[in-house]
């Protein structure tokens, strides 16, 4: 597996990964996932990718992208789902279904955390459904619940 930085050329793959993140529950009907993707807040996670403060990593197997983790800053006027404050980037992460449960997501997450520390970022945040298996990965890497809204947890990782 190769981990590389995300570039502006990865916008479409990040959009695909947003779909995969929204479709984390295989029991949901396709229509429910499509409806979730029409949420304008989700578009904020990839629109105009590559603006100042954006950073992401892409996992590739034999040159084919199979997962992504990225963060970006949001404003109080246009927050993400796991918004904490304007100084805390919020992350998104997903792996294509065929390659889930192989450690790719955690490898991506740890690479993203390492880069955030190197950039001097003080914390990262995210939103996750409490019954999503990924929540355990977030807890293993140090994220803690700091809020709950609409059935999802907001989690934060202090990076000191």
Q: Which two tokens stand for residue 23?
A: 């479709």
What mean pLDDT do residues 93-117 have? 91
Domain boundaries, the chain: 2-158
One of 3.30.70.100, 1.10.10.10, 3.40.630.30, 3.50.50.60 is the CATH number of 2-158, namely 3.40.630.30
How many other C-beta atoms lie within 10 A of the C-beta of residue 79? 15
Q: What is the pLDDT of residue 78?
A: 86
97 vs 56: CA distance, rounded Å? 20
Query: pLDDT tens across 11-37, in order?
Result: 888 878 877 776 555 555 556 556 666
Q: Which two tokens stand for residue 86?
A: 């304007």
């Amino acid at each position: 597996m190769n981990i590389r930085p995300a570039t502006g050329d990865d916008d479409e793959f990040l959009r695909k990964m947003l779909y995969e993140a929204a479709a984390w529950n295989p029991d949901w009907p396709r229509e429910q996932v499509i409806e979730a993707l029409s949420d304008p807040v989700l578009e904020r996670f990839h629109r105009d990718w590559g603006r100042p403060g954006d950073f992401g990593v892409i996992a590739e197997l034999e040159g084919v992208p199979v997962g992504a983790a990225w963060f970006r800053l949001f404003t109080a006027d246009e927050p993400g789902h796991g918004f904490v404050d304007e100084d805390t980037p919020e992350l998104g992460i997903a792996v294509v279904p065929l390659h889930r449960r192989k450690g790719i997501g955690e490898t991506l997450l740890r690479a993203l955390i390492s880069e955030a520390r190197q950039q001097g970022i003080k914390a990262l945040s995210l939103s996750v459904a409490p019954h999503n298996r990924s929540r355990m990965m977030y807890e293993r890497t140090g994220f803690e619940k700091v809020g709950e809204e609409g059935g999802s947890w907001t989690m934060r990782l202090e990076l000191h």
